[in-house]
Amino acid sequence: MDENGLYFAANILLCGALLVLPLNAQSKKIQAQDLVEMTAQNHPEIESLEIAATQEGQRVCVTVAATEAKDLGEKCDADEEAALKTQEPFVEKGKMVSM
């Protein structure tokens, strides 16, 4: 898969994850982490992957699944907030590149 195909696949995956992963049940958190781990395992070219979401009724966005455990529970920064508002994924490679 070429680089553009990889970005496209990552965009589709992240958009789908952001749209279908509410934080109202423990099993959803586990599914999000399973999705991150499976994707990272199947795509070794991905160095780091996170899924961030806002719990229903809340305003604070946090990382709910990640390839690095230290990232779990971190408050979203500007790029993640923008991705949630626009429902467009954010892909960073080297320098920040928004897709």
pLDDT in tens, 60-91: 899 999 999 999 999 998 888 888 889 888 88
* Residue 73 is assigned to a structural domain of this protein: yes
Q: What is the pTM of this model?
A: 0.62
Taking the C-alpha atoms of residue 46 and residue 35, their distance in angstroms, rounded to an integer, is 13
pLDDT over 50 at 56, yes or no:
yes
Domain range spanning residue 46? 3-89
How many separate domains does the chain show? 1
Residue 57 C-beta-side C-alpha neighbours within 13 Å: 2
Percent of the chain with pLDDT over 90: 25
* Residue 97 is assigned to a structural domain of this protein: no
* Residue 98 is assigned to a structural domain of this protein: no
Mean pLDDT throughout 5-25? 51
Phi, psi of 45, rounded to the nearest 5 degrees: -75, -15
